[in-house]
Each structure stands twice: as C-alpha cells, then as structure tokens.
Chain A
Amino acid sequence: MVNGISLMLAESNVEGLARDFGDGGLLAEGAWLIVVVPFVATLAITLFGKRLPWKGAELAVGAVVFALVYGGALLLTSWFGDGIVHEGSVKIGEFGGFEVEWGWVVDGLSSMMFFVVGLVSTACFVYAVGYMKGEVRWTAFFASFTLFAGAMLMLVSAANLIQLLIGWELVGVSSYLLIGHYWEEKENSSAAIKAFIVNKIADVGLVIGIIIAAITVGTFSISEIIQRVVESDSELDDVAAIIALLLFVGAMGKSAQFPLHVWLPDAMAGPTPVSALMHAATMVTAGVYLVARMFPLFHEMAPGVLDLVLIIGTITLVIAGLLAIVQDDIKRVLAYSTLSQLGYMTAALGAGAYTAGLFHLFTHAFFKSLLFLGAGSVIHAVHSNNMSDMGGLRKYMPRTFWTFIIGSLALAGIAPLAGFFSKDEILASFNEANQPIVLLLGLVTAFITALYMARAVFLTFFGEYKGQGSPHESPAIMTVPMMVLAGFAVVAGLFNVPGQIGAFNEWVSTRFVETVGASEFLGEHATSFDVPVLLLGLLAGLAGIYLGYRLYYPDAATQKERDRLYVRGLWPVLENKYYIDDLYMEGVVNPIKGPIARFIDWTNSYIIDYVVNLVGMFTRVVGKVVYGVLDQRGIDLAINEVSAGAGFLGGKLRYIQTGKIQQYATWLFLGAVALVIGFWIKVT
C-alpha cells in the first residue's frame, strides 16, 4: 500500500475512488511462484519422482503446502491491510497486434481462491498419501494431481483471458488423467474421455467468447476489458451479450451446469481424493470463478445473460438434488449434491448476488471436500462404493463418522455451520432479486439436500454392517486432514455474518468494488439477515433431516428404503438420469462416431479417392488406347507401311537393272530422244 492505488485502478479515469488498495508489496510481486511451483513440481515428479524416497509424493505435497502458505499470507495481508490489487506480467509471444502475456493478478478474489485451492489441495494431497498406498501408479498419480492443483492456480491467477483458457484446459486435461487413473477398466477411461469432451464442447463457447472479447477490446487483459465495461464502451456493449453468453457456456461445462452436467457423476471413476479436490476447489468452481471474474461484464452489459445464468442455475440445483436421492453409490450422492450446490452458486450469481455465490463456493469447498474424504475413508474401509454394502460404520470409524456428520450438517444448512450462512445468503438474494419461484425451488432443494444427506448418513453409519470383512478406522494421515476441514466447515461461515463480520465481502470485492458502483450488486446484502427466509431455510433443512430419519433410520439395517420412498413415474426417470446421457450418446456421440464418421471415410475412399483412382485408371486406359490404337496401329503402322511400300516398289523396280550396259544405253538413248521430242513440242 505504498501509493495506495492499484495498477488497474490507476489507469481508470473514474472519479471519486472511495477506497484505496494496497499493492501487496513484494508478496504480491512474487505471487507467480504460486503457479510456477506446482508446475515445476509436476515436471520434477514426472522426470525423477520414482527415485525419491516417497516416490514423488513429497514434492506434490510440498508444492500445495507452498500454495497454501503463500495464499494464506496473501489473504491475511489483504485482510489486515487495505486489500491488495496487483498485476504482473511477462510477455511470451505476439501474434499480429496481439501480445500474449503470462500474467498474475493478486486481489481479494484470487487470494481467496489461492487459499481455498491451497487448503483443500493440501488436505486432499496428504489424505491421498494414505489413501493411495498400495495403489497402481503412485508417482503418475501425484504428478497429475499436482498438475491439477497447479492448473487451477494458473486459472485463478490469470490476468488475461488467454492464460485463463490455458489454466482452464489444463484443469480439463489433468482431470482427464485423474478420472482415468484406473484405466485398465474401459469404463473409467470412457468416463475420463466423457469429462474431457463435454468440457471441450463447452470450451468452444469459451474460446469464441474470448476471441470476440479480445478482438473487440484489442487485448486479452481482463482488467482492460473490465475497464471498458466501466467506461461503457459502446463497441464492447454491442457484443457484450454474446461474449457473456459464450463465456457462460464455457462455465457451464466446467461447473457442470445443466445440460452439460453429465460428465461430473461419471467423474467418480477417479480415486476419491481426486473427487474431493475436483468437487471442492479445483475444477467445478472454475466456471463460477469465471463468471465472478467477469461479473461486471455480465452485470453491466448483459443482464439478459445473467437471467439465463439464473435459470440454468435453478434448473441444475433442482434436477441434481432430485437425482441425489436415488443413488446407491455414496460418491454419486455427493456428486449430484455438488451439482446441486453449484446450481446454487450459479443461480446466486445470476440473481446478481456476487458475494453470496462466491461465499457459497468458499464454504462449500470445505464441507464438500470433507464429505468426499469421509466417503473415501468409508470406501477404503469396506472396499465398495455402494451404501447397500455399508451400514453401522459409526461404531467402527468414529472419527470418520463425526467429521462426516459435521460435513452433512453444514451441507444441509444447519446453523451455525458454514453452509447455513452461505445458503441463507443465497436464498436471501433470491428474495432480494424478486424471484419467488427461484426462492421456492431453492427452499425445496434445501429440503431435498437435507433429505439425501440424512439418507446417506443413516444408510452408511447406522444400522448393521452389511458388507464383507471387518471395517476399520482409517490411519491418521487420512483422518487428520478431515478434521482440519471439519474445523473449517464449522467456522468458515463466520467470515461473512451479515451486519457483523464483513471480511469475505471485502476480500472478494476489492477488485472492482468502486469502479462499477458496488452498491448495485455488492452492497446491500451484507447489512442484515433476511429473517423470514433464514427461518424458512433452516426449517427446510430440519424437515429434510427429520424425513430422512423417519424414512431411513428404522430401515437402515434392512435397506428397504426404496419401498418407503418410491414415486411411481418419477423414480425410473431419475434412475435413468432424465435420459439425458442416453440422448447424448444415442443422439450425438454414437452417430458421429459410427455412421457419420464411417460415411466420411466412405466418401474419402469411394468418392474422392474413387475419382482419383478413376483418373488414374482412365489415364492408363487412354495410355493403352494411345499406344495400341494410335501409336501401334496408327503412326507406327503408317511408317511401316510406307517403308514396306518402298521395299515392294524397289523389288519391282530392281528388274530394270539387268547389268547389261547396252540396255542401259538404250534407255539412255530413248530418254534423250524423249527429251528432244519434248523440247521440240515445247518449242513449237
């Protein structure tokens, strides 16, 4: 906070900045290390991880711990100081008039993300050291895992859209590597491909959105684009809706919003620490982060797209919540729950509640990773993903049980855990935005959330054990990270108690709070609780838990829940995931892979190549005709005939040559006579 005004704000011409920001000093200038260290670690693990004592895991853990410490330091500096806004960059290429830079931006939003990614990654990495013991390809796993975290940090730190895209796709590819970690099974590699391709489809939108934005503004720099938004640049305004729409398409892929949500449940094929990290911090939050990062563009220039964001988010939160009720695989329950919670975040952003959306991202990261790690711990113990093989684990795994309970309650939005505050704020923002239908659906889904989490808890931890062997508590290396996360799941909500503590609001708002007119979308939420909504939300959660208790607690041993809660007509649809996967496979993927690709190949062989071969054949036939008819029987024949004629004639004429001189003389004489006669006639 030397001169108090950030790089970006210094360039802005907006008058009356009410707030000064620190520049973060050396700490912010060196923030590129957060990104570089994991990438270097990835490379190092790949090249010589196998020769290290822990086969590369130490480098991986070290890299994320570094990110955590650095991110934490930035966050604290930002919190206790005046906030940080810093941008640094290195030029890495130029294309025509476009300069491509690798840049890093340090502000509240990215600091918060650094911290979340760092913390959740550290927990998951340490956990993975225990979880992956004895699993195949340890070193490769940690290399990909580190890349995953590094890619997310790259995305989060991006100062320009192209770097954001790089991080974005690297997140995609490392998720591909991790989901397909057990690639001996075709199912797993197919799930990995599915995740990658669905993301790639969404990336088409992102790529085109970035292109349009870059061409319109003339640079990839995010702050430059935001600056144009602030200046109400008319050129940008013309295409802002398209840009926002396309960027959101990209976000829909990464954040698994309907109808591009299909990859996320399948992504459970990866090892559980991967699921935990992916669902909490490193992948699915990317879409939300993108919308948040570009929020002024959405908010100021593309309100229509923001409505679409709201609609998509709402659809996702409802349909995914319903799907979670019917799953038997505990990880799938959590996966659909993630989808549903992402729907909340997206819908919150769509409703204009910037802070609420990000806050839910923040709290959700802790309790969802906690839940996944807990599920992993259970799976580790019973060697099955299915809740029908579990039950009664409370007695065998107390630490897992209690941390899981904390995570579940936080997710269900029970006060005073983290989820309560963030979910309440989202519901309040729906109310604020005058969206009664969305509010209603949000409350219903809060009820559903509590229901499916209660179901998962009762089926897993209560009743009698139904699986094979005797389960046991996981080692400390796995349970300690869970406890740390449980701690955050308890207290994270307190960072943003309306009217009391506003730290979170300040963190994430630093970047453009003053430039865009904060009150429009940031200011009003934080002053007080929306008490009726708060009570309704809490009630919905409690009701869900109660219903879950009534339905599943008594039957936890016999596993008859299907009969208890079976809605004819709805359940088959849910069990088939609304037939969306089938639609994609049968309607799009298989036709392209099968008939269409074969048709194209057929045209290549039988049309284009046929023509080529035909030309070749034709030329050969013409050649044969030219040789056989024209040459051999035409020109050559004529030549031969002429010479033969000459020979024939000679044969006839040679008889004149008798060798008798007197005959020759006679001819000579006659010739002379003829000449004389000729002359004579001529003369007369």
Chain B
Amino acid sequence: MTLSQFLVLSAGLFSIGVYGVLIRRNAVLILLSVEVMLAAVNINLVAFGQYLENTGRFAEGTAASGQVFALFVITVAAAEVGIGLAIVLLIFRNRSSVNVDELDALKW
C-alpha cells in the first residue's frame, strides 16, 4: 500500500469532519465531527511514521514516534470530549437546547 492511499483516506475523513463542524447545529454532533478530524490526523501521523521508518529517515532512537503521537492525540481527544460533553450538558440544562446557532451571547 502506498502512502498516498492513506493520505487520501485521511483527507476524506478530515473533510467529512470539517463539513460536520461547519454544518451541523447540534453541539454533540460538532464534537463528534471534531473526533473524526482527529482520527484523520491520527491516520496521517501513523502513516507518515511508518513511511519514514520504511525509508529509513528517522534519526537514532526516534522510531515509531508517529504512532506515539497518535496515542497522545487519542488521549487528549478523550479528555477533550469529556470536558466538551460536560459543557454541552451544562448548556443544555440552562437553555434546553444544544443548538450552536442560538449560543451567540459572545457577539458584539
């Protein structure tokens, strides 16, 4: 399998994620879309990591760093989703809605 296949998959996933963030109104779904984008990034990281290792371009002692990064991202994403969902929950309690279009109190 070539690198470009992974990259195409990743780009597709990312685009789907972006689409979801920009279009969806539901805050939960936006968070989901963000997860999709992070997944796309993870695919990229792993793919590049493997690619660089295969071509032998890593310096000594830095092998599999792409995979390690991906693991970090997954961890951070989990935490992020945890906090994000908590915020969404609080918003829902206050306003009985998680429609981001209505959450514009920070405007001019």
- Quick check: is B106 within 8 A (CB to CB) of the other chain? yes
User: Given the complex of chains A and B, what is the CA–CA distance between A657 and B104 in angstroms?
Assistant: 9
| 0/1 interface trace, chain A 646-668, chain B, CB 8 Å (1 if under) | 00000000110111111001100
- Quick check: is A54 within 8 A (CB to CB) of the other chain? no
| 0/1 interface trace, chain B 62-82, chain A, CB 8 Å (1 if under) | 000000000000000000000
User: Given the complex of chains A and B, what is the CA–CA distance between A662 and B31 in angstroms?
Assistant: 12
Which residue of the partner chain, among A655, A662, A669, contacts B100 with CB atoms under 8 Å?
A662
| 0/1 interface trace, chain B 97-108, chain A, CB 8 Å (1 if under) | 000110111111
Contact B18 A660 (CB under 8 A): no
Contact B21 A660 (CB under 8 A): no
Contact A660 B22 (CB under 8 A): no
User: Given the complex of chains A and B, what is the CA–CA distance between A139 and B46 in angstroms?
Assistant: 132
User: Given the complex of chains A and B, what is the CA–CA distance between A330 and B70 in angstroms?
Assistant: 143
B100: chain A residues at CB < 8 Å are: 660-662
Contact A669 B101 (CB under 8 A): no
Contact B22 A657 (CB under 8 A): no
Within 8 A of A (CB), among B14-54: 18, 21-23, 30
Which residue of the partner chain, among B18, B22, B104, contacts A658 with CB atoms under 8 Å?
B104
Q: How far is the CB of B72 from chain A (nearest CB, A)?
A: 22
B106: chain A residues at CB < 8 Å are: 657, 659
Within 8 A of B (CB), among A609-667: 654-655, 657-662, 665-666
Contact B22 A666 (CB under 8 A): yes
A657: chain B residues at CB < 8 Å are: 106-108
| Contacts A654-B108, A655-B108, A657-B108; A665 near B22 (Cβ below 8 A) | yes
Q: Which residue of A lies closest to B108 (CB)?
A: A654
A669: chain B residues at CB < 8 Å are: 18, 22
We find that the number of chain A residues with CB closer than 8 angstroms to chain B is: 11
Q: How far is the CB of B92 from chain A (nearest CB, A)?
A: 16
A660: chain B residues at CB < 8 Å are: 100-101, 103-104, 107
User: Given the complex of chains A and B, what is the CA–CA distance between A658 and B21 in angstroms?
Assistant: 17
Which residue of the partner chain, among B21, B103, B108, contacts A665 with CB atoms under 8 Å?
B21
We find that the number of chain B residues with CB closer than 8 angstroms to chain A is: 13
Q: How far is the CB of B16 from chain A (nearest CB, A)?
A: 13
Contact B21 A659 (CB under 8 A): no
User: Given the complex of chains A and B, what is the CA–CA distance between A662 and B99 in angstroms?
Assistant: 11
Q: How far is the CB of A648 from chain B (nearest CB, A)?
A: 14
Q: How far is the CB of A58 from chain B (nearest CB, A)?
A: 111
Contact A658 B103 (CB under 8 A): no
**Chain A contact residues: helix, strand, loop or mixed:** helix
User: Given the complex of chains A and B, what is the CA–CA distance between A227 and B105 in angstroms?
Assistant: 118
User: Given the complex of chains A and B, what is the CA–CA distance between A654 and B108 in angstroms?
Assistant: 6
User: Given the complex of chains A and B, what is the CA–CA distance between A657 and B107 in angstroms?
Assistant: 5
Contact A662 B108 (CB under 8 A): no
User: Given the complex of chains A and B, what is the CA–CA distance between A497 and B104 in angstroms?
Assistant: 142
Q: How far is the CB of A668 from chain B (nearest CB, A)?
A: 10
User: Given the complex of chains A and B, what is the CA–CA distance between A661 and B104 in angstroms?
Assistant: 8
Which residue of the partner chain, among B22, B23, B107, contacts A659 with CB atoms under 8 Å?
B107
Within 8 A of B (CB), among A555-575: none
Q: Which residue of B lies closest to A672 (CB)?
A: B18
Q: How far is the CB of B25 from chain A (nearest CB, A)?
A: 8
User: Given the complex of chains A and B, what is the CA–CA distance between A156 and B20 in angstroms?
Assistant: 131
Contact B104 A659 (CB under 8 A): yes
B101: chain A residues at CB < 8 Å are: 660, 662
Contact B103 A661 (CB under 8 A): yes
Contact B21 A662 (CB under 8 A): yes
Q: Which residue of A lies closest to B107 (CB)?
A: A659
Q: How far is the CB of B38 from chain A (nearest CB, A)?
A: 15
User: Given the complex of chains A and B, what is the CA–CA distance between A662 and B26 in angstroms?
Assistant: 11
Q: How far is the CB of A232 from chain B (nearest CB, A)?
A: 114
Q: How far is the CB of B77 from chain A (nearest CB, A)?
A: 17
Within 8 A of A (CB), among B80-104: 100-101, 103-104
A658: chain B residues at CB < 8 Å are: 104, 107-108
Contact A659 B105 (CB under 8 A): yes
User: Given the complex of chains A and B, what is the CA–CA distance between A665 and B103 in angstroms?
Assistant: 14
User: Given the complex of chains A and B, what is the CA–CA distance between A655 and B104 in angstroms?
Assistant: 13
B18: chain A residues at CB < 8 Å are: 669
User: Given the complex of chains A and B, what is the CA–CA distance between A333 and B45 in angstroms?
Assistant: 142
B21: chain A residues at CB < 8 Å are: 662, 665
Q: Which residue of A lies closest to B27 (CB)?
A: A661
A662: chain B residues at CB < 8 Å are: 21-23, 30, 100-101
User: Given the complex of chains A and B, what is the CA–CA distance between A661 and B100 in angstroms?
Assistant: 7
User: Given the complex of chains A and B, what is the CA–CA distance between A666 and B104 in angstroms?
Assistant: 15
A659: chain B residues at CB < 8 Å are: 103-108
Q: Which residue of B lies closest to A660 (CB)?
A: B104
Q: How far is the CB of B15 from chain A (nearest CB, A)?
A: 10
B105: chain A residues at CB < 8 Å are: 659
User: Given the complex of chains A and B, what is the CA–CA distance between A661 and B33 in angstroms?
Assistant: 14
A665: chain B residues at CB < 8 Å are: 21-22
Q: How far is the CB of A671 from chain B (nearest CB, A)?
A: 13
Q: Which residue of B lies closest to A651 (CB)?
A: B108
B22: chain A residues at CB < 8 Å are: 662, 665-666, 669
B30: chain A residues at CB < 8 Å are: 662
User: Given the complex of chains A and B, what is the CA–CA distance between A665 and B27 in angstroms?
Assistant: 13
A661: chain B residues at CB < 8 Å are: 100, 103
A666: chain B residues at CB < 8 Å are: 22
Q: Which residue of B lies closest to A658 (CB)?
A: B107
User: Given the complex of chains A and B, what is the CA–CA distance between A318 and B108 in angstroms?
Assistant: 117
Q: How far is the CB of A675 from chain B (nearest CB, A)?
A: 15
User: Given the complex of chains A and B, what is the CA–CA distance between A661 and B84 in angstroms?
Assistant: 14
Q: Which residue of B lies closest to A653 (CB)?
A: B108
User: Given the complex of chains A and B, what is the CA–CA distance between A659 and B100 in angstroms?
Assistant: 10
Interface centre among A655, A657, A660, A666 (most CB of B within 10 A): A660
User: Given the complex of chains A and B, what is the CA–CA distance between A662 and B33 in angstroms?
Assistant: 12
User: Given the complex of chains A and B, what is the CA–CA distance between A155 and B37 in angstroms?
Assistant: 126
B108: chain A residues at CB < 8 Å are: 654-655, 657-659
Q: Which residue of B lies closest to A673 (CB)?
A: B18
Q: How far is the CB of A425 from chain B (nearest CB, A)?
A: 127
B103: chain A residues at CB < 8 Å are: 659-661
Q: Which residue of A lies closest to B105 (CB)?
A: A659
4 further A-B pairs in the complex, CB-CB below 8 A; given A657-B106, A659-B104, A662-B23: A658-B108, A659-B103, A669-B18, A669-B22
Some 11 contacts from A to B, beta carbons below 8 A apart, are A658-B108, A659-B105, A659-B106, A660-B103, A660-B107, A662-B21, A662-B22, A665-B22, A666-B22, A669-B18, A669-B22
9 cross-chain pairs, A with B, having the tightest CB-CB distances, nearest first: A659-B107, A659-B104, A654-B108, A659-B106, A658-B107, A657-B108, A660-B104, A665-B21, A666-B22
> A residues near B, CB below 8 A?
654-655, 657-662, 665-666, 669
